[in-house]
Amino acid sequence: MNVLVIDDEPQIRRALRIGLERNGYVVVLAATGEEGLDMAATQPPDIVILDLAMPGLEGLEVCRQLCTWSKAPIIVLSVRENEKDKIDALDAGADDYLTKPFSLEELLARMRAVFRRVRHDAEAETSLFSGGDLVVDFARRRVTLAGQEVHLTPTEYELLKFMAQHPDRVLTHRHLLSKIWGNDYADDVHTLRVHIANLRDKIEPDPARPRFLHTEPRIGYRFRVE
Amino acid sequence: MPKKVQKSLSPIRHTSPDEAPSELRPSDLVRPLHPVRRALPGYLFALAGVALTTVVIQIIPGADRIVNISLLYLLIVIASAYHSGSGPSVVAALLAVLSFDWFLVEPRHTFTVNDPAEWLALSTFLLTAIVISQLTQTLRLRAEEARQRERETSALSRASWAVASQVSHQRTLTEVLQQMTTVIPGEAAAIVVHSSGGLPEVVASYPAHQDSLLDSLTNEELNIVSAALESGCAATRNGDELSLSNNTAYVPLLMEQRVLGVLFLRKRHDQAFSVEERRMMESLANHAAVALERHRLTQAEAQAEALAEADKLKTALLSMVSHDFRSPLAAIKASITGLLQDNPPWDPATQRELLAGINQETDRLNRMVGDILALSRLEADAWRPQYEMVSIAEVVSAALDSFNEEENRRITVNIDPAVRYASFDSVQIVQVLYNLLENALKYSPSASGVELRVTQPDQTLAIEVLDRGFGLPAGEEEKIFQRFYRAVRWHESSLPGSGIGLAICRGLVEAHGGHLQAVNRDGGGSVFRITLPLDENTHQPDKAA
């Protein structure tokens, strides 16, 4: 597996190179956005780890450009509290994000989740999601929890279906809203919150500690499989 | 700060020393103490004038036969009225009638008048004389009042101008007091405020330069001043803003129900205050209150500015902690969590590489903490270079030590062989060099080099950091040295930086009496030039910035 690390901090590049190589990845390093784009073109990576905080060509711009011609999933790194950067990166096509400082395990876990999802996407469209007690039967539009049928409104069902089809992936508010409600509703975060709360009441064993519908504060939601 | 006693008061200038204005007004509360003794010269003048006129008429041959020669006496009546007022002029009129009758009306040397026409003439003369004396008197009062109004208007306008134009509240208040004493003959005047210690403090006094007015006050006066300071609001509630005791006034200076101070005035004569004087005092007290309030607001504004500055510093520090500290922390955490994965075992070389990285990043964090401390000293304006003779080469190598190999490969050093030793604070200059080099590395592409050049032109030490980086944004060459300033193009960038490094550099260099400037370099990039005086005697901190 080829990993392209784009980060202007030499120490982080070094730590990631050593840590990732030790875990069986082939690591290519780039210190700037331009260099990163060159590397991605010459040695197509299986995954890109991209720092948003870089001089010169910004991480966000690199992310946008990469997504136009590369299929490699992107995990962005950010030192900022600023959620806007992460949302912009996710909306621009990044698959996940990590806030610095992060542990190597965290990064490895995110990479595994991304790879799993890529494989999942590559497989033939599944007609069924099953995790724990929850089963979503996309063919019959039926949701059951421990064998009991759960009654969902059409919108709730569409929301759950979309999230279950994109497991382990941060879905921004804007993304979910424009997919389910349409572009005109892209900023209506409140509506989304209400529907998520209703869904949790119906499918979560403990709605206060959701197992499936995980909140990414100020960014969006993530449908967790594990 | 309380001032020292000086009992002798200098004479007070005012426009009409002998005629107290209150004598002229119907609204006087108290008349002068000895009205008869004061008026005596007037009566004597009337008597002498009438006698002289009579003598003149007697001496000049044939004068007594001139019709209406009695009109000469009117001159004396008018003069008396103008100079001495109503009483003496009436006396002059009566005396004139009597002496005319005695000396000039047949039969002479008796008061008997035979001719009824003479009776009529004498009565008419008396009536005319009294009317004229009253008219003259009124005219004189009007003129005097007009002069007084003019003085008051002039005093008020000068006081207003002082309030509007003076920056120092003490000078304004002194001017207000001075204007007051041109209108109200005061022996001593002062404006007393609460000092920060809670004690009464004289901020302005008349006569000016009097060392201590507080000490010249009697205990009783001092008590009233303190009471007025304490309870100015109460005085307002009672509806009596002026607490007057004989010839002394204490006027609370009020602004929106708050007592800002007390205006104290002791009159020169032992006479109470007229309504006009009260009005004048109140008006000038308002001027003084405005000046005091403005002073208070200016102070509050300065305080607010200081707080805003402190707040800005706090925000910048928070952003620095959350932003800049995360990068080294991220590297350290990634390395350590890597090292903690001890299965399979690490080979010693890789392990060492990671540990070296951790070591370097902790140094970097430590320097950031140093920057924060330096910034707080910059805030406190407490740079004190500790001068020592040091080798330039050593200082440069100390600064280079802080960079890793990769960064050192990008740095070229050129030191003029003539430059060997200089006297400065080596710790501070190392910090300046480090900050400038780090800045140059940060703001230029990783492939491009940075040059450190040391030369010695004209008895100065010139240290230049030259890069081929992004250069300085036009028009921002000076702004980059402001605290928390980051070039516009980096605002939205994620490039770490809190905008304090260059401010610290300039502060340190200027503390050495040197200069730090930045210019764009021919062919791209920028040059940061430090000029330090080599002469040891020029170690004067430069406060130009």
- Helix, strand or coil for residue A1? coil
State pLDDT tens for residues A125-177: 677 888 888 899 888 888 998 889 999 999 999 999 999 888 888 899 999 99
Cβ of B338 within 8 Å of Cβ of A15? The answer is yes
Minimal Cα distance from B361: which residue of A? Answer: A11
Cβ atoms of A63 and A73 closer than 8 Å: no
B330 pLDDT above the threshold of 50: yes
Burial of B491: CB neighbours in 10 Å, binned 0-12, 13-18, 19+: exposed
For A222, phi and psi rounded to 5 degrees? -135, 130
pLDDT mean over B332-351? 88
Torsion from C-alpha of A122, A124, A127, A129, nearest 10 degrees: -30
Cβ of A12 within 8 Å of Cβ of B443? The answer is no
Burial of A30: CB neighbours in 10 Å, binned 0-12, 13-18, 19+: buried
Q: How far does A54 lie from chain B, in Å, by closest CA?
A: 5
Measure the CA–CA gap between B42 and B234, rounded to whole angstroms: 47
pLDDT the model gives residue B487: 56
* Residue B237 pLDDT class (50, 70, 90 cuts): very low
Measure the CA–CA gap between B262 and A76, rounded to whole angstroms: 68
Cβ of A18 within 8 Å of Cβ of B495? The answer is no
B401: its two tokens: 């030590």
Region of B208 please: left (phi>0), alpha (psi -120 to 50) or beta: beta
Measure the CA–CA gap between A162 and A156, rounded to whole angstroms: 10
Cβ of A9 within 8 Å of Cβ of B326? The answer is no
Query: Cα angle vertex B195, ends B192, B201, to 5°?
Result: 35
- Whether the CB of A8 is below 8 Å from some CB of chain B: the reply is yes
B452 pLDDT above the threshold of 90: yes
pLDDT mean over A8-15? 87
- Whether the CB of B403 is below 8 Å from some CB of chain A: the reply is no
Q: How far does A214 lie from chain B, in Å, by closest CA?
A: 25
pLDDT the model gives residue B91: 87
- Alpha helices for B381-465 (secondary structure H): 392-401, 405-410, 426-442
> What is the DSSP-derived secondary structure letter of residue B13?
P
- Which of chain A's residues have a Cβ under 8 Å away from the Cβ of B495? 53-55
Cβ of B495 within 8 Å of Cβ of A52? The answer is no
Type of residue at B444: S
Q: How far does B311 lie from chain A, in Å, by closest CA?
A: 20
pLDDT mean over A107-118? 88
Cβ of A11 within 8 Å of Cβ of B361? The answer is yes
Q: How far does A170 lie from chain B, in Å, by closest CA?
A: 22
Q: Shortest CB distance from A16 goes to which of B322, B332, B334?
A: B334
pLDDT the model gives residue B382: 64
Distances (CA, A) of B407 to A219, A220, B163, B395, B542: 37, 40, 62, 18, 33
Cβ of B493 within 8 Å of Cβ of A55? The answer is yes
pLDDT the model gives residue A123: 64
Cβ atoms of B216 and B7 closer than 8 Å: yes
Global pTM value = 0.52
Q: Does residue B169 or residue A197 have the better pLDDT? A: A197
pLDDT the model gives residue A151: 92
Q: How far does A24 lie from chain B, in Å, by closest CA?
A: 12
- Whether the CB of A105 is below 8 Å from some CB of chain B: the reply is yes
Q: Does residue B491 or residue B129 have the better pLDDT? A: B129
Q: b/e string for A172-196 if b means 16 or more Cβ within 10 A?
A: bbbbbbbbbbeeeebeeeeebeebb
pLDDT the model gives residue A111: 93
Q: How many CB atoms lie within 10 A of CB B211?
A: 14
- Whether the CB of A18 is below 8 Å from some CB of chain B: the reply is yes
> What is the DSSP-derived secondary structure letter of residue B446?
T
Measure the CA–CA gap between B54 and B64, rounded to whole angstroms: 10
pLDDT mean over B294-323? 79
**Site of tokens 């469209």:** A125
Q: b/e string for A130-139 if b means 16 or more Cβ within 10 A?
A: eeeebbbebe
Q: Does residue B487 or residue B97 have the better pLDDT? A: B97
A21, containing H or E segment: helix A10-22
Q: b/e string for B161-183 if b means 16 or more Cβ within 10 A?
A: ebbeebeebeebbbbbbbbbbbb
Burial of A5: CB neighbours in 10 Å, binned 0-12, 13-18, 19+: buried
Interface size A-B, in CB pairs within 8 Å, comes to 105
Measure the CA–CA gap between B341 and A109, rounded to whole angstroms: 14
- Whether the CB of A85 is below 8 Å from some CB of chain B: the reply is yes
- Whether the CB of B359 is below 8 Å from some CB of chain A: the reply is no
For B59, phi and psi rounded to 5 degrees? -70, -45
Q: Shortest CB distance from A54 goes to which of B332, B492, B494?
A: B494
B504: its two tokens: 């610290």
pLDDT the model gives residue B34: 55
Of B18-22, B198-202, B335-339, B517-521, the poorest mean pLDDT is in B18-22
Which of B256, B170, B246 shows the shortest CA–CA distance to B206? B170
Distances (CA, A) of A149 to A135, A202, B91, B165: 9, 10, 127, 85
Type of residue at B396: V
Q: Does residue B499 or residue A177 have the better pLDDT? A: A177
Cβ of B494 within 8 Å of Cβ of A102? The answer is no
pLDDT mean over B132-161? 88
Starting from the edge strand earliest in sequence, which strands make up the sheet with B248-255, in order? B200-206, B186-194, B258-267, B248-255, B243-245
A85 pLDDT above the threshold of 50: yes
- Which of chain B's residues have a Cβ under 8 Å away from the Cβ of A14? 331, 335, 353-354, 357
Rg (CA), chain A: 19
Region of B85 please: left (phi>0), alpha (psi -120 to 50) or beta: left
- Which of chain B's residues have a Cβ under 8 Å away from the Cβ of A51? 494
B387 pLDDT above the threshold of 90: no
Best A18, A25, A81, A106 residue to mutate vs chain B (most B CBs within 10 Å): A18
Measure the CA–CA gap between B50 and B244, rounded to whole angstroms: 44
Distances (CA, A) of B91 to B69, B76, B112, B113: 19, 11, 20, 21
DSSP letters for B411-433 = EEEEE-TT--EEEE-HHHHHHHH
Measure the CA–CA gap between B84 and B133, rounded to whole angstroms: 10
- Which of chain B's residues have a Cβ under 8 Å away from the Cβ of A88? none
Which of B15, B16, B294 shows the shortest CA–CA distance to B164? B294
DSSP letters for A114-167 = HHHHHHHHHSPPPSEEEETTEEEETTTTEEEETTEEEP--HHHHHHHHHHHHSB
- Which of chain B's residues have a Cβ under 8 Å away from the Cβ of A80? 322-323, 494
pLDDT mean over B253-260? 81
Of B28-37, B371-380, B494-503, B528-537, the poorest mean pLDDT is in B28-37
- Whether the CB of B335 is below 8 Å from some CB of chain A: the reply is yes
* Residue A40 pLDDT class (50, 70, 90 cuts): very high
Distances (CA, A) of B222 to A56, B190, B260, B293, B311: 72, 12, 17, 23, 43
Q: Shortest CB distance from B353 goes to which of A8, A14, A105?
A: A14
B323 pLDDT above the threshold of 80: no
Cβ atoms of B524 and B468 closer than 8 Å: yes
B277: its two tokens: 């004087």
Cβ of A54 within 8 Å of Cβ of B328? The answer is no
- Whether the CB of B318 is below 8 Å from some CB of chain A: the reply is no
- Whether the CB of A100 is below 8 Å from some CB of chain B: the reply is yes
